[in-house]
Amino acid sequence: MATQEQEKETLDSVTIRFCGDSGDGMQLTGTQFTNTSALFGNDISTYPNFPAEIRAPQGTLAGVSGFQIHFSSNNIHTAGDSLDVLVAMNPAAFKTNIDDLKQNGILIVNEDAFTPGNLKKAGFIDDEDIFAPYESRSRIFKIPITKMTLTALEDFEMMAKAKERCKNMFALGLTYWIYSRPLDSTIEWLTGKFGKKPEILEANIKALKAGYHYGNTIEAFQSTYEVPEAKIVPGTYRNITGNQAVAIGFVAASELAERPLFIGSYPITPATDILQELSKYKHHGVKTFQAEDEIAGIGSAIGASFGGQLAVTTTSGPGIALKSEFMNLAMITELPVVIADIQRGGPSTGLPTKTEQTDLLQVLYGRNGESPIPVVAAKSPSDCFEAAIEACRIAIEHMTPVVFLSDTQIAIGSEPWQLPDLDTLKPFNFKFHEDPETFAPYKRNELLARQWAIPGTKGCEHTIGGLEKEDITGKVNLSPDVHEHMTEIRSKKVDLIATKLPPTEILGDETGDLLFVGWGSTYGAIRTATEKLRNEGYKVSQIHLRHLNPLPNDLEKIMRSFKNVAVPELNLGQLSMIIRSKYLIDAKGINQVNTKPFAVSDLVDEAKKILGEG
Partner 1 sequence: MSQVQELTKADFVSEGDVKWCPGCGDYAILSSVQTVLPTLGIPKEKFCFVSGIGCSSRFPYYMNTYGFHTIHGRAPTVASGVKLANPDLSVWVVTGDGDGLSIGANHTVHMIRRNMDLKVLLFNNRIYGLTKGQYSPTSEQGKVTKTSLYGSIDNPLNPLSFAIASGATFAARTNAANPKHMQETLRAAAAHKGTAFIEIFQNCNIFNDGAFAKYLNKDTKAEENLFLETGKPLLFDGETKGIIMNLDGGKPKLSVEEADPANPGVSKSGNKFLIHDPSNEDHTLAYLISYLGSISDPENPAAMGVLRAVNKPTYGEMLHSQEEEAKSAKGTGSLKDLVYSKDTWTVKETAKA
Interacting residues with partner 1 (CB under 8 A) = 35, 38-39, 41, 229, 231-239, 248, 251-252, 255, 260, 262, 264, 281-285, 287, 289, 291-293, 295-296, 298-309, 311, 325-326, 329, 333, 419-420, 422, 454-467, 475-476
DSSP annotation of 244? H
- Residue 327 and residue 371: Cα distance in Å, rounded? 9
Nearer to partner 1, 73 or 408 (CB): 73
- Shortest separation between residue 231's beta carbon and partner 1, angstroms: 5
Closest approach, Cβ 507 to partner 1, in A, equals 21
Distance in angstroms (rounded) separating the CA atoms of residues 42 and 580:
41
Q: What 3-state DSSP class applies to 65?
A: strand
Nearer residue to partner 1 within complex by CB, 465 or 614: 465
Minimum distance from CB of 289 to partner 1 (Å)?
7
**Closest separation in Å from C-beta 283 to partner 1:** 4
Beta carbons within 8 Å of 54's beta carbon, 6+ residues apart: 22
Other CB atoms within a 10 A radius of the CB of residue 483 amount to 16
CB of residue 300 to partner 1, shortest distance in Å:
4
What does the chain come to in residues? Answer: 614
CB of residue 545 to partner 1, shortest distance in Å:
26
Which is closer to partner 1, CB of 39 or CB of 501?
39
- CA-based R_g, the chain, Å: 27
Distance CA(545)–CA(549), nearest Å, equals 10
Write down the least CB distance from residue 90 to partner 1, Å.
31
Output the smallest distance, CB 244 to partner 1, in A: 10
Count of CB atoms situated within 10 Å of the CB of 284: 12
State the DSSP code for 259.
S
State the DSSP code for 587.
P
Q: How far is CA 102 from the centre of its chain?
A: 25
DSSP 8-state code for residue 545: E
Supply the minimum distance, in Å, between the C-beta of residue 196 and partner 1.
Answer: 19
Residue type, 614: G
CB 374 within 8 A of CB 547: yes
Instruction: Report residue 212: phi and psi, to 5°.
Output: -60, -50
**Residue 420 or 573 with smaller CB distance to partner 1:** 420
> What is d(CA 87, CA 539) in angstroms, rounded to the nearest whole number?
39
Task: Using the minimum distance from each CB to partner 1, give the nearer residue, 348 or 463.
Answer: 463
Element (H, E) at 461: none
Residue 133 vs 455, nearer CB to partner 1: 455
Span between the terminal Cα atoms of the chain, in Å: 51
Specify the residue, 287 or 539, whose C-beta has the smaller distance to partner 1.
287
Nearer to partner 1, 285 or 350 (CB): 285
State the Cα–Cα distance between residues 241 and 484, nearest whole angstrom: 44
- Report the residue number, 454 or 611, with the smaller CB distance to partner 1: 454
